[in-house]
Amino acid sequence: MENTQSIFPEFKGFISGIFGGLLCVVVGQPFDIVKVRLQNYGGSALGTFIDIGKKEGIRAFWKGSLPPLIGVGFEYSIVFGVVENCKRWVSRYNQPGEVLSIPQHAFCGAWSGAVSAIASTPAEHLRIRMQIQGKINTYGDPIYKSSIDCTSWIYKTHGIKGIFKAFYPTLVRDTIGMTTYFIIYQGMARKVFGDDHTNAEDLDLIRAGICGGTAGFAFWIPIYPLDSIKSRLQCDSFTNPVYKSTYDCFIKSIRNEGISCLFKGLSPCLLRAFPVNAAVILGFEASMSLFGRDYR
């Protein structure tokens, strides 16, 4: 353990985050495709779920999984890698043995969200493009043969800017969301399972998973409308775009469909949030328990 900590203390969070990200995709992909379809085409969660299964088969629930397997693994590697290193840095300003405060955890979470948007933007964009393939494309864009074909076409025709479509709303979403996430994750560990000297990493895996699942649920509460706008932008046609900007998308969506359009797909998203984030934390904390931490 001591050798592991001394060899690569800065990389433990990045490595452990990959395991959390892989579990996130496996557990969350079926929920996510339903959410994306609802955000863009409406309907009911159950009806959409049944429709996908009947018309496209069970494998359709993991359609477009390659980009998120790579991107989400990379994203969570960044999230937890940045968080862990930020916590190590912040802890140097505390007294020996003093646990990080909730504001300190929030600060680290905000940084992790901002940096992780670099990975989550292309991963989510490409995944969403593949997830809406089951619907008739009326905008003139090609029907992609695979995730690689989708990536190649977008890059060739629209460059890196096309791959990173809707980066700014994703950046704001992830910064706010991850700040909320780590406040709830660490706050619940103290108020429900421990005391003011308890961090979530001090808990057993089951309790840490419960804190992580609850934090994942809370993640979406302040930012879901922004996520809806982001998804609409990333679904929008490259050939004949409907929206000129994030603001234009917001105004046109509200004007044409009412404020309720910003909450389409919220139910499957919230249903997904607890099991997915519990799985993320189980994968991450199980890995970190092998490496150990050199701070509190």
- Residue 80, in any domain of the structure: yes
| Contact by Cβ (8 Å): 212, 257 | no
Residue 69 has pLDDT above 90, yes or no: no
Report which residue type is found at 54. Answer: K
| Averaged pLDDT for residues 21-31 | 81
- Residue 50, in any domain of the structure: yes
Q: Give 162-216 pLDDT, tens digit per residue.
A: 999 999 999 999 999 999 999 999 999 999 998 888 889 889 999 999 999 999 9
Alpha-carbon distance of 241 to 140, in angstroms, equals 10
- Residue 235, in any domain of the structure: yes
Report which residue type is found at 19. Answer: F
The pTM is what? 0.80
| Averaged pLDDT for residues 40-52 | 79
Output the pLDDT for position 148.
87
- CATH code (residue 265): 1.50.40.10
| Averaged pLDDT for residues 225-243 | 91
Helices (H), the chain: 2-7, 12-41, 45-56, 66-91, 102-131, 147-163, 167-191, 205-220, 224-235, 246-257, 266-291
Residue 91 has pLDDT above 80, yes or no: yes
Closest-CA residue to 23 (of 60, 59, 71, 73): 73
- Residue 258, in any domain of the structure: yes
Mean pLDDT over each residue of the chain, to the nearest integer: 85
- Residue 296, in any domain of the structure: no
Q: Which of the two residues, 224 and 119, has the higher pLDDT score?
A: 224
pLDDT category at 67 given cuts 50, 70, 90 is low
Boundaries of domain holding 172: 2-291
SS3 of 96, please?
coil
| Averaged pLDDT for residues 52-67 | 75
Distance of CA 231 to the CA centre of its chain: 13
| Averaged pLDDT for residues 220-247 | 92
Q: Which of the two residues, 19 and 39, has the higher pLDDT score?
A: 19
The Cβ of residue 251 has, within 10 Å, a number of other Cβ atoms equal to 12
Q: Give 115-170 pLDDT, tens digit per residue.
A: 999 988 998 898 888 877 755 455 567 778 888 888 999 999 999 999 999 999 99
- Residue 185, in any domain of the structure: yes
| Averaged pLDDT for residues 54-68 | 73
Output the pLDDT for position 219.
95
Structural domains counted in the chain: 1
